[in-house]
């Protein structure tokens, strides 16, 4: 008899015995016993029976790739890699209330108006509630078919009969497969439902977009194997205090990963932002200490964003290090390099760093901009407002050039910036009207702009 296995419903971690607290995510009372994938007999080996031969093709075949379906929403098509690929399975995650259902309802209406047969299946709302939301968004006239159902067998039967080009499943955690002996939302149910829908998409050529709930850590709830099943994983993120929303691709078999699409939340739904750099800098006032503009790259798109730093004497024995929108560990590294290589201590000082607009930055090219913001705040000296900064800092204090330097500088020049600070060595091209400063190490940068080091 097979030994029982247990899984955490929050993070999907597996255990051999039950415990009250999950060692993977730290949640309490989330571990339950896994049921078999079917109520039938125990699994047996395939045996000696021979299967059928699988059709083989070579890479040099002349088959044309399937045409992509365009929604007309430029930011969405960009994140998908240039449009919707037939027979693709897409997983969309995001915090509750961030706008996932609104985005997908607008997307499915846009695809339907372009001539693609679409179906919206809601497991969380009644059809009347979805229609009410569509009327508020001005989408009531879109030829979208609606269904409110959670039984996966009934949904697949309907899809076989209707044969739409695109189906939205909102959400995968509410789906219930009757061949799995566990409650909806459990690890077994989510895994089985995602597998059935992905297999159905590949077999029939129907594109499937599944909405996934996220945990308190921001990861899609359920087993991580679900993210490996699908072709594309998108995260819809943003701060509730800002009107900006970022649709970020973290996995895409048909396009660039780490691509972003920027939307603005309005009373009539989500509006796409074609020039996010101008929007992120729109609320930036006169130059002030601690404020610098970083020229970053998100996917294939250059994005300019303001970094804000505040350095103040700490009343506590342990100074605070607070970061919003950047990696806290990397901030600690920058502070250590400034102290060890440049002789600028931050002991006894509280340090706060914020990425304006709710954007999250992960690339190391922001190191030099962060260091400049920290020094500007510490010395109470503002950098010129028409200057952009980017570059990576090594532990030795040397500056390394960032990738796509020319694209960053072109975006800065397009928005009216006249000077840039970037490490030596990057390819800049010929940019007229843009003054370049090319320090080779952090000590030289500090000495030139702050007179100390």
Whether 376 has a binding-site annotation, put simply, is no
Torsion of CA 360, 364, 365, 368, to 10 degrees: 100
Round to whole Å and give the CA distance between 229 and 233.
10
Distance of CA 203 to the CA centre of its chain: 28
Q: Is 444 annotated as a binding residue?
A: no
Please check if 96 is assigned to a binding site: yes
Q: Is residue 99 a known part of a binding site?
A: yes
In the block, residue with structure tokens 């699908």: 230
Can you read off the two tokens belonging to residue 187?
A: 């690890």
**101 among annotated binding-site residues:** yes
Task: State the Cα angle at 65 between 62 and 68, rounded to 5°.
Answer: 165
Ligand-binding annotation for 380, yes or no, is no
Q: Report the alpha-carbon distance of residue 375 to residue 284 in Å, rounded.
A: 19
- Count helices and strands in the chain by DSSP H and E runs: 11, 21
Q: Is 97 annotated as a binding residue?
A: yes
Q: Any binding-site annotation on 98?
A: yes
Question: What are 399's strand-pairing partners?
Answer: 393
Distance CA 322, CA 350 (A): 8
Q: Which of 146, 106, 157, 156 is nearest to 124 (CA)?
A: 146
- Binding positions are 94-101
Binding positions for ATP = 94-101
């Amino acid at each position: 008899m097979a030994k029982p296995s247990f899984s955490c419903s929050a993070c999907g971690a597996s255990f051999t015995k039950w415990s009250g607290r999950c060692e993977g995510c730290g949640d309490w009372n989330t571990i339950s016993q896994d049921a078999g994938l079917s109520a039938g007999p125990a699994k047996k080996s395939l045996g000696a029976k021979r299967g059928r031969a699988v059709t083989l093709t070579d890479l040099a075949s002349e088959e044309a790739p399937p045409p992509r379906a365009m929604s007309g929403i430029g930011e969405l098509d960009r994140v998908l890699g240039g449009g919707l690929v037939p027979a693709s399975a897409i997983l969309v995650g995001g915090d509750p209330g961030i706008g996932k259902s609104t985005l997908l309802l607008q997307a499915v209406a846009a695809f339907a108006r372009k001539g693609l047969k679409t179906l919206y299946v809601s497991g969380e709302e009644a059809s009347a509630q979805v229609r009410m939301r569509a009327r508020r968004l001005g989408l009531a006239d879109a030829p979208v078919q609606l269904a409110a159902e959670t039984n996966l067998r009934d949904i697949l039967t309907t899809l076989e009969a209707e044969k739409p080009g695109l189906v939205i499943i909102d959400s995968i955690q509410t789906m219930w497969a009757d061949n799995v002996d566990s409650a909806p939302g459990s690890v077994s149910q989510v895994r089985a439902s995602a597998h059935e829908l992905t297999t159905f998409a590949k077999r029939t050529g129907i594109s499937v977009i599944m909405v996934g709930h996220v945990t308190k850590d921001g990861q899609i709830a359920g087993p991580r194997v679900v993210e490996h099943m699908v072709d594309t994983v998108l995260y819809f993120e943003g701060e509730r205090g800002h009107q900006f929303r970022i649709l970020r691709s973290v996995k895409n078999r048909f396009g660039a990963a780490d691509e972003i699409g920027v939307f603005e939340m309005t009373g009539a739904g989500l509006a796409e932002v074609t020039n996010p750099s101008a929007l992120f800098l729109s609320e930036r006032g006169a130059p002030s200490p601690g404020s610098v503009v970083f020229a970053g790259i998100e996917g294939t798109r250059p994005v300019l964003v303001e970094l804000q730093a505040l350095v103040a004497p700490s009343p506590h024995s342990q100074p605070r290090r607070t970061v919003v929108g950047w990696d806290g560990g990397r901030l600690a590294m920058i502070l250590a390099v400034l102290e060890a290589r440049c002789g600028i201590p931050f002991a006894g000082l509280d340090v706060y760093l914020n990425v304006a607009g709710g954007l999250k930055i992960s690339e190391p090219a922001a190191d030099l901009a962060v260091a400049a913001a920290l020094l500007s705040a510490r010395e109470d000296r503002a950098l010129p407002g028409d200057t952009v900064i980017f570059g990576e800092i090594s532990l030795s204090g040397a500056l390394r050039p960032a990738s796509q330097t020319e694209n960053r500088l072109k975006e800065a020049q397009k928005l009216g910036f006249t000077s840039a600070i970037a490490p030596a060595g990057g390819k800049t091209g010929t940019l007229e009207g843009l003054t370049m400063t090319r320090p080779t190490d952090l000590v030289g940068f500090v000495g030139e702009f702050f007179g100390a080091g």
